[in-house]
Amino acid sequence: MCYFDPNIRVVNRCLALGTKRMARLNAIVRSLPSVETLGCTTVICSDKTGTLTTNMMSVSKVCVIHSAHQGPVTSEYSVSGTTYAPEGFIFDGSGRQLDIPAQSPCLLHMAMCSSLCNESVLQYNPDKGAYEKIGESTEVAFRVFSEKVGLPGFDSMPSALNMLSKHERASYCNRYWENQFKKVSLLEFSRDRKMMSVLCSRKQTEMLFTKGAPESIIPRCINVLCNDDGSTVPLTSTIRTELESTFNRFAGKETLRCLALAMKRMPTHQQALSYDDEKDLTFIGLVGMLDPPRKEVRNAMLSCLTAGIRVIVVTGDNKSTAESICRKIGAFDHLDDFSEHSYTASEFEELPALQKTLALQRMAIFTRVEPAHKRMLVEALQHQNEVVAMTGDGVNDAPALKKADIGIAMGSGTAVAKSASDMVLADDNFASIVAAVAEGRAIYNNTKQFIRYMISSNIGEVVCIFVAAVLGIPDTLAPVQLLWVNLVTDGLPATAIGFNKQDSDVMKSKPRKVNEAVVSGWLFFRYLVIGAYVGLATIAGFIWWFLYSESGPKLPYAELISFDTCSTRETSYPCSIFDDRHPSTVSMTVLVVVEMFNALNNLSENQSLLVVPPWSNLWLVGSIVLTMLLHMLILYVKPLSILFSVTPLSWADWTVVLYLSFPVIIIDEILKFFSRKSHGLRFNFRLRRPDLLPKRELRDK
């Protein structure tokens, strides 16, 4: 970022204004340098669940073993309702609603397992008039499923339970099973096992209930529970094949997240569980959970594609589910297939070094990922000179968030993840990341516009003083006038430039490089041209009054440049005219007005004023109006006019001021035209603020 010590507060004010706009977009910036780095982001590694999807989990499909002896091997049920409200019904394969689902042995035991092997809470909030979750969405979906299954008996069928108050209904069935069974021991979910288990006791009977990823649960099962008569039979290869086929269909074609439930009778009076107990299980059923993609994600991902930003979906889900969700989103329609763009963590680790490099360059989906894989992915991408944004919400995600150029924590995530991040998403939405990137680019552009305005204005003042000295004419501006111009024109409009709206093409250009110069050669040439005109117009106003003004002396030019010898020779005019306040007032007013027009030029770096009109930034319009009112005040209020050595101007004077000032817009429009056509010329001229270097550059230093 550019470094200009006298105006550093205004630069920081531009950045602060941008961070406030980001906060309104649900992107809370925790680190100021990350605002600049956002504009350089080339890869976004995004979680799937809750970021690309709504994280409103609900059980949609259930598969159980019907019978191992006759008829179809499996039976499937569909479940209605997609919210946390326990309001929905279960339908069999023919579409018939089950009046008492708990009469089905498999559904009954699945409801038990869903209630007991669970650490979440489902409750009704009367203030919001909605059911709320405490805990993981996946676990709450199991509680809702248990409520939809109901309890054995006519009085406990779902339609009868719906007569209860919403507060009682929220966890009526879950509380029943928790009262029937006493939890003795718990094995928490771990990423290695991809499952969790609970040991429960009821009437001298010890039962183990387990749920987890199908690829972890099914290999540990030796028996299955049959739905037709509640019997337990051995798990044969035929049944395994049927379950795997159903699992692949649920996860692939139907884009469902799949979990399997199992149980096991344990020895009496066992008080603790070990990982060795999670074997020789009895399979109960397969659950397919629906997590709808966010509607706004597709356009956000397409915006990334247009902006030259690659998106990698990073998830712990299985490969089929992730690919299906990405197809459903529609953001990867440009890929014919995922064969060379989708990898599991284990597949990627097994690749040779050269193939890993190629895989990273085309990767779009990364599945079965653990926190260590996230950090590995960030490091690998950074070695390819990518600027990486990584999302995360868990404690174990903190190292990856810290390592990434932009660590993005979820608002619903842990405090550890938030403290390790550079930005927090209040709504956990991928679209907010893209909006933050666009805002980051806009903030950077606005800062550049501020710098451009300040440089061209200051160059104009320097040119004015220097040219006057070279030509040998009197000083065009008194020190107090120069101070007034700097305070008024550099302050209000420069601050208002920070309110510029995003350019329409802000997400249509490729990410800028981290080490790209803020002021390129072409831009600096533009600054010089505009600054030179500002200075020359100021000088021209001063000379005009002496040579051509009706109220001026109409001196020959030779007399003007010989003003210092006036007292030593005979003249047809009094030497006191060189002390007149009128010419410096004209030149000062030209300088103020030309800089107001120049402020309008800075609404956009390359867009014409016909595309980005002045009223697109009303703060800038207001600051220009206020600046002109203040200038009128010192011109026409006598005590102030004496203080600033100025005098009131006539309408003829104002006409000349406008004629001299307005061409700065025409000149800049021509320069913008060439910029749009040729994208400007570049060389390595750079001015950077060391305190705003991207995080990776600071580490390197």
Amino acid at 466: F
- CATH no. for 58-290: 3.40.1110.10
Distance of CA 50 to the CA centre of its chain: 14
pLDDT, tens digit, 9 for 90 and up, residues 326-353:
888 877 877 777 888 899 998 999 989 8
Average pLDDT over residues 529-556: 87
- CA dist., res. 27 & res. 20, Å (int): 9
| Cα separation, 120 vs 137, whole angstroms | 8
Domains of the chain, by residue range, sit at 27-53+294-428, 58-290, 451-502+517-679
SS (H, E, C) 258-280: EEEEEEEEECCCCCCCCHHHCCC
The strand pairing partners of 262, in sequence order, are 210, 283
pLDDT at 37: 82
Q: Specify the amino acid at residue 190.
A: S
Structural tokens at position 649 = 């101007």
pTM: 0.76
The fraction of the chain above a pLDDT of 70, given in percent, is 92
Say how many CA atoms lie within 13 Å of 58 toward its Cβ.
Answer: 20
Q: Are 306 and 507 in contact (CB under 8 A)?
A: yes
Q: State the fold for domain 27-53+294-428.
A: Rossmann fold (3.40.50)
Beta carbons of 390 and 400 less than 8 angstroms apart: yes
Task: Examine the pLDDT at 209 and tell me if it is beyond 90.
Answer: yes
Which tokens go with 632?
């009128």
Question: What token pair was written down for 142?
Answer: 């199991």
Degrees to nearest 5, angle at CA 346 with 248 and 325: 40
The pLDDT of 484-495, averaged and rounded, is: 79
- The per-residue pLDDT for 319 is 86
Q: For 517-540, what is the mean pLDDT? A: 85
Pairing state of beta strands 406-410 and 130-134?
Answer: unpaired
Cα 614 from Cα 596, distance rounded (Å) = 11
Residues 464/56, Cβ–Cβ less than 8 Å? no
Residues in contact with 314: Cβ distance below 8 Å, sequence separation at least 6, in sequence order: 45, 46, 47, 48, 366, 369, 374, 377, 390, 391
Alpha carbon separation from 548 to 176, 540, 554, 555 (Å, rounded): 99, 11, 5, 8
Say if residue 411 is exposed, middle or buried (CB neighbours under 10 Å; 0-12, 13-18, 19+): middle
Which positions ≥6 away from 505 have C-beta within 8 Å? Answer: 607
Helix runs in 5-75, H state only: 8-24, 33-38
Phi, psi (rounded to 5 degrees) for 123: -145, 165
* 8 Å CB contact between 526 and 671: yes
How far does Cα 121 stand from its chain's mean position?
30
Element (H, E) at 45: strand 43-47
**pLDDT value at 10 more than 70:** no
- Closest-CA residue to 259 (of 315, 207, 317, 220): 317
Kind plus residue range of the DSSP H or E element containing 133: strand 130-134
pLDDT(379) > 90:
yes
pLDDT at 17: 61
- Cα 10 to Cα 225, 284, 447, 466, 484: the distances in Å are 71, 65, 9, 27, 18
What is the pLDDT averaged over residues 96-115? 93
- What's the rounded mean pLDDT across residues 257-269? 91
Rounded Cα distance between 172 and 165, Å, is 10
pLDDT band of 203, cuts 50, 70, 90: confident
Residue by residue, DSSP assigns 272-318 as ---GGGS-SEEEEEEEEEE-PBPTTHHHHHHHHHHTT-EEEEE-SS-
Give the pair of three-digit tokens for residue 232: 């337990």
pLDDT band at residue 251, thresholds of 50, 70 and 90? confident
pLDDT band at residue 72 using 50, 70 and 90 as cut-offs: low
CATH fold for the domain made of 451-502+517-679: Calcium-transporting ATPase, transmembrane domain (1.20.1110)
Q: How far apart are CA 210 and CA 198, in angstroms?
A: 7
Pairwise CA distance, residues 534 & 531, whole Å:
5
pLDDT at site 267: 87
pLDDT band at 18 (very low <50, low <70, confident <90, very high): low
Per-residue pLDDT at 9: 52
Q: CA-to-CA distance for 585 and 645, rounded, in angstroms?
A: 8
Residue 633 CA from chain centroid, whole number: 45
Asked if the domains at 27-53+294-428 and 58-290 fall in one CATH topology, the answer is no
Residue 185 pLDDT > 70: yes
Question: What is the per-residue pLDDT across 273-312, written as a single tens digit (0 to 9) for each?
Answer: 889 999 999 999 999 998 888 888 889 988 898 888 999 9
**Mean pLDDT highest for which of 389-393, 435-439, 561-565, 642-646?**
389-393
Residue 680: pLDDT band by 50, 70, 90 thresholds? very low
Question: Per-residue pLDDT averaged across 472-496, rounded?
Answer: 82
Q: How far apart are CA 436 and CA 439, in angstroms?
A: 5
User: Residue range 88-117: average pLDDT?
Assistant: 92
Taken as a whole, the chain contains a residue count of 701
Distance CA 122, CA 133 (A): 5
Main-chain dihedrals φ then ψ at residue 347, nearest 5 degrees: -65, -40
**Residue 31 binned pLDDT confidence (cut-offs 50, 70, 90):** confident
Q: Cβ-count burial of 321 within 10 angstroms (0-12 exposed, 13-18 middle, 19+ buried)?
A: buried
For residues 568 and 260, the model is more confident at 260
The mean pLDDT value of the chain amounts to 85
Out of 276-285, 481-490, 583-592, least confident range: 481-490
Confidence of residue 108 (pLDDT cuts 50, 70, 90): very high
Tokens of 323: 């690919």
Q: For residue range 133-172, list pLDDT tens digits in order.
A: 888 889 999 999 999 998 887 667 777 777 888 888 899 9
What phi, psi does 562 have (nearest 5°)? -110, 25
- Active-site residues, by number, are 47
**pLDDT at residue 218, rounded to an integer:** 94
